[in-house]
Amino acid sequence: MKNYDLAVVGAGIVGMGAALAAARKGRRVAVIERDASCVGASIRNFGFITVSGQRRGTHWQRAKRSRDVWAEIAPKAGIEIVHSGTTILARRAEAVAVADAFLRTEMGEGCRLLSANEAGELAPILRRARGAEILYSPHELRVESHTAIGKLAKWLQSEMKVDFYWSTAVHEIALPWILTSRAEINADTCIVCPGHDLSTLYAERLGKAQLEICTLQMLRVTASSPPPLHAAVMSDLSLGRYDGFAELPEAAPLKARLAREETEALAAGVHLIVVRSGDGSLVVGDSHIYGDAPKPFASDRYDMLILAEMEKVLDISGWSVSERWTGSYASSKTDVVFTDAPEEHVRIVLVTGGTGASTGFALGEEVVGSLGL
């Protein structure tokens, strides 16, 4: 029987990050996933590796590190970087004030307000009204999430010698044994990355974390002529939601104005992100609804709110929605990650703010390090 230095439970981006970190140290690694492939939040997102806007401090640093890892391994794994950078259209004066304040922080390094000519090159379809400004961040990367995780797994298996056990559910962890639906797996250490499954492994520990399930809605928009877009797009709603902007003192007036003017959108957790896919279509989202379980049915009204914000920001003609989907992740009201050590050689790890693609690689490195691997 093969013995592993590390077994990772869960093949989402956080699990992949831990597997990569350990494999790079020459450790023998197994990834155990109950589904036949990754089908959760890690493939149902924008594929938007976001730095600017992450919570100030440690999490922002995680995003910077994770972006660098993505940039390094994407070409090795055959993952296309579709575009880079972010343009944030600040339409309200209060949003412009947040952008200015952000630029004065350490997080604003390398970022700037775009001139009209620069905006025309990066995002010519932005609707720019009098008094509006465009905050540009060069740090972000865009990959196609629904294919990137699968390609990453194949690369980890072929090049980094990570073993994958697909369609295999873990019933119990009693190191060095991990009892699964197929066989017993022997490992010295284990990292459990449950995503939004809070009731299978270590449910009591996870229950004490007071986590909720956030369900989001997203869409794919196709236009008669592929719109020119060379960077991601965000808006005032994002400046009022993303911690790196919204937690600045200067954001208070913007949040107050949004509460008056965008009551319905805020109640649905709507803010705007638009990214381009390789085929020219746009991935647009998203909404955020919280509860004790994923919401199985999508709301047409939420989609309309998302698309209404898109139309306020982008000038696109002849567009239609070609695809709709939902995703779910574990969420905390206070923390952006959750880690726990239920046993000496076992760790539980989740990203609890919907930023797994942006921070999972760095978090994986941290947790692998905590096990002394």
| Residue 125 burial (10 A CB sphere; 0-12, 13-18, 19+) | middle
Confidence at residue 43, expressed as pLDDT on a 0 to 100 scale: 81
Confidence at residue 341, expressed as pLDDT on a 0 to 100 scale: 96
Confidence at residue 42, expressed as pLDDT on a 0 to 100 scale: 82
Confidence at residue 258, expressed as pLDDT on a 0 to 100 scale: 97
Take residue 211 and report the two structure tokens written for it.
């986590």
Helices vs strands, H then E, count in the chain: 12, 18
Residues 6+ apart with CB under 8 A from 278: 80, 82, 144
DSSP string over 204-231 = HHHHTTT-EEEEEEEEEEEESSPPP--S
Strands 184-192, 346-351: pairing is: parallel
List, in sequence order, the alpha helices (H) in the chain: 13-24, 58-77, 93-103, 116-122, 145-159, 203-207, 236-239, 243-246, 252-261, 263-267, 300-313, 356-370
pLDDT in tens, 113-140: 998 788 888 888 898 888 889 999 999 9
Confidence at residue 287, expressed as pLDDT on a 0 to 100 scale: 95
Which residue has tokens 């760095």? 362
Cis status of the peptide bond prior to 176, with omega within 30 of 0? yes
Confidence at residue 231, expressed as pLDDT on a 0 to 100 scale: 93
Q: How far apart are CA 206 and CA 173, in angstroms?
A: 15
Confidence at residue 254, expressed as pLDDT on a 0 to 100 scale: 98
Confidence at residue 211, expressed as pLDDT on a 0 to 100 scale: 95
- Alpha carbon distances (Å) from 248 to 58, 129, 240, 253, 338: 16, 25, 10, 11, 23
* pLDDT lower than 70: segments of the chain: none
Confidence at residue 184, expressed as pLDDT on a 0 to 100 scale: 93
| Residues forming beta bridges with residue 35, ordered by sequence position | none
- Alpha carbon distances (Å) from 55 to 46, 121, 123, 172: 19, 29, 26, 35
DSSP state of 140: E
